[in-house]
Amino acid sequence: MHRKGRLEALARSRVAAVWNDPEGRLALRKEFYAAHGQSLVGDYGFGNSEIAFSEWEVRRGVLKADKGSPWWKDMNGDLLYYSELAAIAYAHDAQDLDWSPPVRLWLDYLQNPNAHSWYRAHNGSICRSYPDRTHAARAEDAYEQAFMNIVLYRLLYAQALVEGVSQFGEWGEIIANPILPAVDVLVHLPDFYPDTYPMTHAEYNELMGKDLSLEELAVYILDQVLILPTITELYGQAAAWNLTPEIVHLLDNGEPIYPKIDPLTQPATQKEKV
């Protein structure tokens, strides 16, 4: 087996070892950021936001081996794989091999850790996984499918804040910095991120800002006022930042349509198997 294949096999084995173990998945991410998070703030530095989100995934139960969500497990697994492969390549001085875009972006982060390179690495993995995992997404119920779109466009909007292209300028870069606790706060608010899987009808209404409360007003402002009016531009910018041109096909006339997309319209990708 050639050198690249050996490193890929090592990354696959690390992910396979924790595939049916939610706490093991979380521990693998904590180990990654303990080594590469530049932890000037919090335990995991630039990984603080991702760890907070991963802890929410574990609490919600989507990563459970038996009653979890195949889509969430696949998405999480792809993120594990791309970042672990980059860390292995970095440790073996193999940065110059012909890596896929998500791995290259993680290598960029490892070589120059900062908020911009972290978002491009993390979101590059997520944006690559969305079209790759369409089949699993179609097996979820309508509530979860709607939530998948919300998760993605909120994540891309957070990146836009750090990229400095939002209406908030420098303040946005501070608010969305992955070192800071904004994500940890949001994942503890059920109006933003549901507590159970599958989500209930009541949780869906809260998520869509359909009930009357201050939290739901915040949901409405974030999604309906700040993000959705310029979502086409947002996805176009994110496609360039994250080296994932295929994500523009997750919209139809400015409406998020994942996973109801036609795979024939998507640019071909060389999918790495986990």
Q: Are 71 and 131 in contact (CB under 8 A)?
A: no
Non-local CB neighbours of 43 within 8 Å, separated by 6+ positions: 30, 33, 34, 51
pLDDT at 274: 43
Tallying the residues shown for the chain, one arrives at 274
End-to-end C-alpha distance for the chain, whole angstroms: 17
The residue among 172 and 260 whose pLDDT is bigger is 260
Query: DSSP assignment, residue 224?
Result: I
Domain residue spans in the chain? 3-265
What are the tens digits of pLDDT across the range 185-227?
777 777 789 999 999 998 998 887 766 566 778 888 889 999 9
- In 3D space, the residue among 123, 124, 96, 94 whose CA is nearest the CA of residue 11 turns out to be 94
- In 3D space, the residue among 78, 84, 75 whose CA is nearest the CA of residue 36 turns out to be 84
On average, the pLDDT of the chain sits at 90
Cβ density class 85-99: b for 16+ within 10 Å, e for less: bbbbbbeeebeeeeb
pTM: 0.91
